[in-house]
Amino acid sequence: MKVFVAGATGRVAQLLIENLVEKGHFVYAGARRENEIPMNDQVKPVHLDLHDDVADLAKTLGDAEAIYFVAGSRGKDLLQTDLYGAVKLMQAAEQEGIGRYIQLSSLFALVPENWSDSILNYNIAKYFSDSWLINNTDLDYTIIQPGSLKEETGSGNITTSIEKRSENSIENVAAVLAEVLERPNTYQKVIMMGDGDTPIDEALAAI
């Protein structure tokens, strides 16, 4: 499958791209600093600026069959990138007839009463971008909502039964993102996740 990854220079995205390539997919790696992305037979760097309008964003998608939104401004540009950038990319996907859309979000982004004050504005941005994806598009979406990200080796085991906080190795998050791509049972689903005891394949099959 030909897949477009928005935010391709990010920590999660880099591992996601590795996972997608291992599965035999071709990746359009979209980023503002596309020159930092190594190109090979399965990865093509593409210039992507989420400040562009929908028509320009649509032109960057090429012949992609699925889109990942894993971009993030790390709090520096939440409205333009994390929120409106996501919405515009959804609109571009629909304009181009690309149905599959996978979005990396934040744990409990749609449950304001569970938000942490430390990332309040980030959760607000994700609340509205997730809500737009669910309520204002006809995309076959999957929204992945991990808790705190940790730079450590992934166990390959997760839980999707989250009641409070969760911690997630970045490797596990990237693996889950890659695994949901071709799983119709994850369409129109919001999946909260944390590191746990269930193999990823088994956990996703149960959704």
Q: Enter the tokens of residue 131.
A: 């809500």
CA atoms in the 13 A half-sphere facing the CB of 87: 15
- Kindly state the average pLDDT of the residues 48-57: 97
77 DSSP 8-state letter: S
Residue entry with tokens 């890659």: 178
Reported as a pLDDT band with limits 50, 70 and 90, residue 165 is confident
pTM of the shown model = 0.95
CA–CA separation, 76 and 82 (whole Å): 10
Reported as a pLDDT band with limits 50, 70 and 90, residue 192 is very high
Sheet arrangement for strand 189-195 = 43-47, 26-31, 2-6, 66-69, 100-104, 140-146, 189-195, 157-159, 198-199
Reported as a pLDDT band with limits 50, 70 and 90, residue 152 is confident
**Using one digit for the tens of pLDDT, what is the confidence trace for 79-99?**
999 999 999 999 999 999 999
The answer on pLDDT for 182 being more than 90 is yes
Q: Which residues contact 55 (CB under 8 A, 6 or more apart)?
A: 92, 95
CA–CA separation, 62 and 96 (whole Å): 9
Lowest mean pLDDT among 64-68, 117-121, 132-136: 117-121
- Report percent pLDDT > 70 for the chain: 100
The pLDDT value given to residue 73: 86
The pLDDT value given to residue 100: 98
Lowest mean pLDDT among 19-23, 55-59, 119-123: 119-123
